[in-house]
Amino acid sequence: MSQHAVWMAMRSMTADPSVKSQKLKAGTFKRIVGYAKPYKRYIALFLVTVVIDALLIISTPLILRKLIDDAVIPKDAKLVTLLALSVGAIAIFDAIFSVVGRWFSARIGEGLIFDLRTELFTHVQSQSVAFFTRTQTGSLISRLNSDVMGAQQAFTSTLSSVVSNGFTLILVAGTMFFLSWQITLVSLILLPLFIVPTKWVGRKIQQLTRESFDLNAKMSSTMTERFNVSGAILVSLYGEPKKEADLFSSRARKVADIGIQMGMLNRLFFTSLTSVAAVATAFAYGFGGHMAINQTISVGTLLALTALLSRLYGPLTALSNVRVEVMTSLVSFERIFEVLDLKPMVKEKENAINLEPGAVEIEVKDVRFSYPKADEISLASLESVAKKEIVESGEILKVLSFTAKPGTLTAIVGPSGAGKTTLSALIPRLYDVTKGSISINGIDIRDFTLQSLRDQIGVVAQDPHLFHESIAENLRYAKSDATDEELIAACKSAQIWSLIESLPNGLDTMVGERGHRLSGGEKQRLAIARMLLKAPAIVILDEATAHLDSENEELVQEALKVALVGRTSLVIAHRLSTVMDADQILVINDGQIVEQGRHQELMNSGGLYSELFSRQDLTTNEKPSIND
């Protein structure tokens, strides 16, 4: 029996049978066929190579029969030579069609992987921020990798297996019955003796495979958590190296033990399959030998039957579990469709207009906001804990109204959890308001295209995110075609160029994962430079100087003076001294604006702002203001 036949049988027998109980949604199969349409010509030619390969499988035993009966026994040397050359030619043709078939298979498979991955990636990118706050990154990546790979097998491995095994089985069984139905029936008697133990081996391998996946996932999780910068620092400061090594070693040992068991079971499967085939061949030789002695069949026919018999058990075994193979691929498709069918919460209108560059006035009118429920924004299968949430967020913002005039600075202050950051997330439509409206120059922001709206908004967060790339690449994320001169100008305005210039690699310096090679103040100034490159009409600063030391805060404040000039700015501040000169200060508490005015007006009123200001004891230790 060939190694390929054994492999096909093994893959079929070890597939997870639990998928058979799953029911596909209506229309799933039709959608799958839609993905195959661009490759229908390749699929047709691929199936032609599969059928030809199956035909070549039975041709060699039949030539062997003719070689013995019509050439060797009659001592026809010319025919022997001709038939030997024919076997060689068939082998060459088989190799050629095998290569051609592999090319078609690769073209179809890789094309489908590309189509599915790019569609999934684009769709996931269109999801609102709420989706990512709920989704487990590993599960999402699995859809992009494992499920996409499983889906493409529907048109390559599974389709070729079904067609090839089915066609081969029909041809081999038909030819064997034609040559001798008696020997064929005797040979098939042993089939149940093979199917029963291999089913048991298959179940054991399924169980071990699941355990191996779980343990590998835990090991990957351990490495991911400890091999990033924050995790490495935590382990260095609080961890116990021996305990960490022992934990990882124990999991790795279990994976190794499972690997040994799976290796032995695979060998047992291979040995049992080849042994049963060998015993069946022995039966055929014994029974057929007596028939040949009695001249019921020829010697050539006997040898042809035994050669065909070795090609019979692999396809039979694989087809016995074909439903599992098909369902496994279809379920992968369904898991992909599950993500693709999840509609983004923040949608763009069909007739949306562009927000043109220029001075802007922001009007927030009667805005209410509650965070969406879990089942509205994500999938249970993509969350680490797939349980329905009972507790809702409640109303975070309650009837907020204010106007930010063009080129002015509006400060937003208040206790932690008051809704300040939530408000800032509504303007670039990271979330949509539940009720009320937010307008720019008198037009509801939901009437603008998302791209043009966000192009006019620059955000500097408390902990700005930097990619594990060079300084230049991080800056050009705001403007991909920015020249080096533009990068330098932005960095100078952000008070960061002197540092970059002193680095050996300058703008080509790698910042490390999440920018960990830079200090907090340096990251903030780099984020400001990135924002300046974008040249937005609206600037949102979310606690941009909250955790900086005095020296870095002063540098960031100097950078912000340049960044905010001529722009409509919203500044969320914890240190009230930094917004004393704001054009207006909004004091938010429990999702409502409880006070509004300039610094001195609010101090004189003796309300919450005055209380917060006094609590910080800022009158004796003032920090520099953004507008100083």
**Rounded-to-integer distance, Cα 297 and Cα 176, Å:** 12
Q: 485-489, 525-529, 614-618 — which is least confidently predicted? A: 614-618
Amino acid at 315: P
Mean pLDDT in residue range 242-266: 81
Mean pLDDT in residue range 41-48: 88
**Rounded-to-integer distance, Cα 115 and Cα 95, Å:** 30
Task: Evaluate if residue 400 carries a pLDDT over 70.
Answer: yes
Cα within 13 Å of Cα(605), Cβ side = 15
Give the CATH fold of the 465-535 domain: Rossmann fold (3.40.50)
Task: Evaluate if residue 385 carries a pLDDT over 60.
Answer: no
Model confidence band, residue 620 (pLDDT cutoffs 50, 70, 90): very low
Measure Cα distances from 531 to 174, 260, 537 in Å: 73, 55, 11
Chain centre distance of CA 138: 8
DSSP per residue over 125-159, as a string?
A: HTS-HHHHHHS-HHHHHHIIIIIHHHHHTTTTHHH
Q: What is the pLDDT of residues 72-107, one digit of tens each?
A: 888 888 988 998 899 899 989 888 988 888 888 888
- CA nearest to 188, candidates 281, 291, 297: 281
Mean pLDDT in residue range 13-34: 62
DSSP per residue over 369-424, as a string?
A: EEPPPHHHH--GGGSSS-----S---EEEEEEEEEE-TT-EEEEE-STTSSHHHHH
Q: 44-53, 121-130, 271-280 — which is least confidently predicted? A: 271-280
Q: What is the mean pLDDT of the chain?
A: 79
**Rounded-to-integer distance, Cα 313 and Cα 273, Å:** 8
**Rounded-to-integer distance, Cα 100 and Cα 606, Å:** 83
In contact, 545 and 524? CB cutoff 8 Å: yes
Matching CATH topology for 3-340 and 465-535?
Answer: no
Mean pLDDT in residue range 350-360: 89
Residue 25: what pLDDT? 66
Q: Could you state, in order of their start, the residue ranges of all structural domains in the chain?
A: 3-340, 465-535
- CA nearest to 544, candidates 558, 532, 557, 563: 557
Partners of 368 in beta bridges:
435
Interhelix angle 484-493/550-564, rounded to 10 degrees, is 120
Ranked by mean pLDDT, the top range of 23-27, 127-131, 604-608 is 604-608
Percentage with pLDDT > 70 across the chain: 80
Q: What is the pLDDT of residues 118-140, one digit of tens each?
A: 888 888 888 877 777 777 666 67
Class at the top of the CATH hierarchy for domain 3-340: mainly alpha
Interhelix angle 157-188/40-66, rounded to 10 degrees, is 30
**Rounded-to-integer distance, Cα 177 and Cα 376, Å:** 60
Task: Evaluate if residue 390 carries a pLDDT over 70.
Answer: no
In contact, 401 and 367? CB cutoff 8 Å: yes
Eight-state DSSP code of residue 470: B
Task: Evaluate if residue 626 carries a pLDDT over 60.
Answer: no
Percentage with pLDDT > 90 across the chain: 9
In contact, 308 and 58? CB cutoff 8 Å: yes
Residue 546: what pLDDT? 60
Task: Evaluate if residue 572 carries a pLDDT over 50.
Answer: yes
Better-scored residue on pLDDT, 238 or 443 = 443
Residue 217: what pLDDT? 60
In contact, 585 and 598? CB cutoff 8 Å: yes
- In the chain the first and final C-alpha atoms are separated, in Å, by 85
3-state secondary structure 277-293: HHHHHHHHHHHHHHHHH
- CA nearest to 319, candidates 534, 545, 475, 167: 167
Mean pLDDT in residue range 262-278: 75
Model confidence band, residue 402 (pLDDT cutoffs 50, 70, 90): very high
Mean pLDDT in residue range 336-355: 85
Q: What is the pLDDT of residues 408-456, one digit of tens each?
A: 999 998 888 888 888 888 999 988 898 999 999 999 999 999 889 988 9
Task: Evaluate if residue 187 carries a pLDDT over 80.
Answer: no
Model confidence band, residue 622 (pLDDT cutoffs 50, 70, 90): very low
Residue 19: what pLDDT? 46
In contact, 382 and 135? CB cutoff 8 Å: yes
Structure-token match 């179940």, residue found: 203
Measure Cα distances from 324 to 154, 321, 347 in Å: 12, 6, 39
Model confidence band, residue 210 (pLDDT cutoffs 50, 70, 90): low
For residue 578 the two structure tokens come to 């930094």
**Rounded-to-integer distance, Cα 127 and Cα 148, Å:** 19
Residue 444: what pLDDT? 93
